Amino acid sequence: MTQVLALMLWLAAAGAYAIVASDLCPSGAANTSAYAQGPAKEAGPFRKPDLVELVKLDPTIKLDIRYATANNFLGRPVYTEARAFLQRPAAEALVRANRSLRQKGYGLIIHDGYRPWSVTKIFWDATPADKKRFVADPSQGSRHNRGCAVDLSLYDLKTGREVAMPSEYDEMTERSQINYKGGSEESRQLRDMLRAVMQAQGFAVYEPEWWHYDYKDWRKYPILNISFSEIGRLTSSRVEIPRRISAAPFTELIRRANKLTDIALRHRACTCGRARNY
């Protein structure tokens, strides 16, 4: 019985590693060459990723995931699913921001959250040199890649419509600057209200883009390159012993099996493959 259980545990650990390794170049909107190249390695240490889907924490948050459509600066979709994720502390802070805004008659509408590194590479390659400040350098990775950056705006609770801001989302002009003095007074007031509420919850705006906010703990998370459909595996690949069997005789074996899985996850976070790092 002991030998059989030991074999099962090691097979489970090896299987977890195989799943993670095989997903280094997942199919999806991003091309496989970008996945194959992968981001630069980082020393760490980092927190274990815990990406959560925003609408599952707060269904009143609206989604308008432009990169799942052709309505973006590329003119084509790069996501196969219109979903938004953040690391749990950032997601919970965003929910608090949304609750605060709802007391003022507005809600959050999300354009992007966690972004696979391969998509950052696609953006960089497609952007002209004079517009590079609007996209992250893939050699450094993006704070979106760490699950700690969010692109958002406001919608009016009465009408359900997105409000007008001084510029359009992803507009690569001076109007996108957080301190731009043009546009209507109402649009500037809404932009500034959004900034104040987000800052109160630990987010900082990226000044060239009024819509882009970074969570304060972004440095504590690794660059990731996994598709939305694979996010669950990142937090559920650890080996567990059946509850009806005592774990005592197998403590060291379980520890080693879980260590192998953790190595695979770090490989996933760091090996899948420095201008602005947002």
Active site residues: 209
C-alpha distance from residue 142 to each of 42, 96, 166, 190 (Å): 13, 24, 25, 27
**DSSP label at residue 274:** -
Residue 151 and residue 112 in contact, taking contact as beta carbons nearer than 8 Å: yes
End-to-end CA distance of the chain: 52
Residue with tokens 């949304």: 98
The Cα–Cα gap between 128 and 21 comes to 33
Which region, left, alpha or beta, applies to residue 138 given φ > 0 means left and ψ of -120 to 50 means alpha?
alpha
Strands 85-87 and 203-206: unpaired
Helix, strand and coil content of the chain, in percent to the nearest 5, comes to: 45, 15, 45
Residue 112 and residue 82 in contact, taking contact as beta carbons nearer than 8 Å: no
Q: Where are the beta strands (DSSP E) in 134-219?
A: 149-156, 203-206, 209-215
Q: Which two tokens stand for residue 81?
A: 């699913």
Residue 77 and residue 60 in contact, taking contact as beta carbons nearer than 8 Å: no
The Cα–Cα gap between 96 and 110 comes to 15
